[in-house]
Amino acid sequence: MAATERRQDRAERRRTIVAASAGNFAEWYDWGVYGVVATVIADQFFPKGNETLALMSAYAVFAISYLTRPLGGAVFGHIGDRLGRRRALSVTIVITCTATALIGCIPTYSTIGYAAPLLLLLMRLIQSFGTGGEYSSAISFVYEHGEKGKKATAVGVMTSMTFVGFLVGSLLATLLSATLTDGAYEAWGWRALFWLSLPMGVVGLYLRHRTEEGAEFQQLQREREAKAERPRSPVWEAIRTQWQRLLLFIAFLGTWAIISATMTSYLATFLKKNEALTSTQAYLANTVCSVMVVVFVLAFSPIADRIGLRNATIIGCLVVAVGVVPGFLLSGSGLALAFVGASVLGMCKGVMAVPSLLAVSQLFPPEVRVTAGGLSYNIAQAGLGGTAPLVAVWLNSTTGTSLFFSSYLVFAALVTLAVILVFGRRWVADSSAHSGDAGLAPAGPTGSRPEVAPLGRGEVAGG
């Protein structure tokens, strides 16, 4: 009987990961495609005459659209913490995929003038609103279904599918760019990349409807029913009880916010500036970067289960601090070196992804997990991630070198490193206590985990 129950539990975990991953794949394919075709969007939706200004305008739309992500995190965090993670995920996938498909239907600037960039911005704001509720809901969903001691691996598998979504977008752009004439690609080829989000979203929605809530959330619901009291607003509770941790966590997420947006939405543009690469080769190098991200996420996740969240973060910060400068320099230098540099940058992003995304759920208690994780994640993304491609275009075009922007990333990695060194030990101990997960802190000599006392409500983690 016990063996049968274990098999059923494993089957349910696999089904949960597949469902969350399929939805994540669809939604983040949508998000990544914009960056892959940013140069085409700049040409299609903005006045001609100044290529750099048009590209900066395209990335300005990208940056402004991030403003609705914290709102999405709050709204869908409320739904996820009150009504269930699955319900939040079902709504976000419909919103994101619909808005993405509509981007492919917007007429160009030459057809409708300034209405084109305005419609583009509107669709990006709606898309960003849905995306703001996606990641924290999906990570919490998978985290709560994850096996003790293997939660990083479970979240890593789901996260890898996020980057597979980016990868597929890059591969399809490469394929269309290589097989279509320039005129055909600019006329309708790039639009097909956005239209594909609809069938992907339908599949993701179907799979998500076939899952159940995790044990932690079901237990929380039973406790609420037993108390027969109306729960407080998760947004208010998250701010009231976790405000100090929220602020620190935003600083902690700075490195991930910048590097994720840069590699997703700017690297393809940067590679196109390398005169040794054709447009198709630039897309291919960007695809290699995405492949390396997936490889290192899957490779590093089991290691994070063994060494703990704090140590995994330290390693991630050091990899970014050491690798990002040579990665950009190589990416802008010749044909072969561009692929080497893209691989290095993919490694940096993949290693940093594991502790950053795992922490979104692990550092907060179940009753406000989606809301608190979503708010902090999306505020960091709005402030630092959304502006990263715009900052990169400006710095690289005005200075003529990638050193200044890559140094900006190194500085962010050092800030995250300082936060985890000062506050990380108590953070991890407290999160182990409220989650009951063995994978948060490294095992002692006998493989046992230390018993720790949780922080009081609203108390900041000490060093």
Q: What is the predicted pLDDT for the residue at 9?
A: 63
Residues 6+ away with beta carbon under 8 Å from 308 = 428, 439, 440, 441, 442
The answer to whether position 1 is within a domain reads no
Query: Domain of 380: which CATH number?
Result: 1.20.1250.20
Element (H, E) at 40: helix 38-45
Cβ neighbours of residue 45 closer than 8 Å, sequence gap 6 or more? 58, 106, 108, 109, 116, 117, 120
- Dist CA 70 CA 84 (whole Å): 19
The domain total for the chain is 1
Give the C-alpha separation, 349 to 297, whole Å. 9
**pLDDT at 462 > cutoff 50:** no
Neighbours of 5 (CB within 10 A): 9
Report if residue 446 sits inside a domain: no
3-state secondary structure of 367: helix
Whether the Cβ atoms of residue 375 and residue 366 lie closer than 8 Å to each other: no
Looking at the domain assignment, is residue 147 inside a domain? yes
Q: What is the mean pLDDT of residues 74-81?
A: 86
Closest CA to 22 of 90, 106, 68: 90
CB 438 within 8 A of CB 452: no
Location of structure tokens 């409708």: 112
Q: Using an 8 Å Cβ cutoff, are 346 and 292 in contact?
A: yes
| pTM (predicted TM-score) | 0.76
Find out whether 115 and 106 touch, Cβ atoms under 8 Å: no
pLDDT tens digits along 323-365 = 999 999 999 888 899 999 999 999 999 999 999 988 888 888 8
Does position 441 have pLDDT exceeding 50, yes or no? Answer: no
Write down the pLDDT at residue 147: 78
316 falls within a domain = yes
> In this structure, is residue 44 part of a structural domain?
yes
Least confident of 33-42, 90-99, 189-198, 255-264: 33-42
Measured on CA atoms in the order 45, 46, 49, 52, is the torsion positive or negative? negative
Domain that holds residue 152: 12-217+232-435
On whether residue 96 sits in a domain, the answer given is yes
Crossing angle of the two packed helices 38-45 and 115-145, in degrees rounded to 10: 150
For residue 203, the surrounding DSSP H or E stretch is: helix 197-208
Residue 449 lies in a domain: no
Structure tokens at 3: 């063996």
